[in-house]
């Protein structure tokens, strides 16, 4: 909505490369490796807090999903899930719900997204996500995990972090197969 940016919105400048310490760390790591190498983990770009709502065509406002930030590393027919603090998210929280990675048409990729749980109306609900994590879905009706992907960081041996947001979105859209859920 023009002129409105909720305080919880993620704000990203789509016209240029990622500009934060995580991106700088990634670029340095990639400079030390050949183009076929894939990093084990890329520290995620975090939301930028702004003092007041604004509207600017050079900025993109992303949905706040009210979930758990997770990076999926797809390689060798499997998917590893990492929290933004580089903790094994599959082992600690979600199980192997994105494995095998049939949801992505790529042999090797790193994607950034958010795991959410949907209520009976299809709305994200953090309390339901916490219940699913604690109970591993033990209920009369399982509450699905959904992985909302919002960024492609690496694809088939090449970093996507230096691409414009629109180019990365095109690569992501052409690689994604369907919404992944448990």
What backbone phi and psi angles, to 5 degrees, belong to 171?
-60, -45
Contacts of residue 120, defined as CB under 8 A and 6 or more positions apart, other chains included, come to none
* Domain boundaries of the chain, sorted by first residue: 10-181
**What does the DSSP 8-state code read for residue 62?**
E
Strands 78-83 and 108-117: unpaired
**What is the rounded CA–CA span in Å between residue 82 and residue 149?**
14
Known active-site residue 28: no
CATH topology of domain 10-181: D-amino Acid Aminotransferase; Chain A, domain 1 (3.30.470)
Residue 130: how many other CB atoms lie within 10 Å: 13
Catalytic residue among 28, 64, 87, 134: 64
pLDDT confidence band for 68 (50 / 70 / 90): very high
User: Is residue 75 scored above 70 in pLDDT?
Assistant: yes
pLDDT confidence band for 134 (50 / 70 / 90): confident
Residue 44 is predicted with a pLDDT of: 85
pLDDT confidence band for 136 (50 / 70 / 90): low
């Amino acid at each position: 909505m023009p002129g409105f940016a909720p305080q919880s919105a993620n704000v990203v400048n789509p016209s240029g490369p990622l500009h934060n310490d995580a991106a700088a760390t990634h670029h340095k790591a990639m400079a030390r490796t050949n183009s076929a190498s894939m990093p084990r983990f890329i520290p995620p770009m975090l939301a930028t807090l702004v003092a007041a709502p604004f509207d600017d065509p050079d900025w993109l406002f992303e949905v706040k999903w009210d979930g758990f930030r997770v990076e999926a590393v797809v390689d060798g027919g499997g998917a590893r899930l990492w929290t933004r603090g580089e903790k094994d998210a599959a082992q600690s929280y979600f199980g192997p719900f994105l494995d095998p990675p049939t949801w992505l048409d790529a042999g090797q990729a790193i994607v950034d997204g958010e795991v959410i749980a949907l209520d009976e109306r299809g709305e994200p609900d953090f309390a339901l996500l916490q219940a699913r994590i604690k109970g591993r879905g033990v209920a009369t009706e399982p509450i699905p995990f959904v992985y909302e992907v919002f960024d492609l960081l690496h694809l088939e041996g090449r970093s996507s972090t230096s691409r414009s947001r629109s180019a990365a979105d095109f690569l992501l859209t052409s690689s994604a197969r369907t919404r992944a859920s448990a």
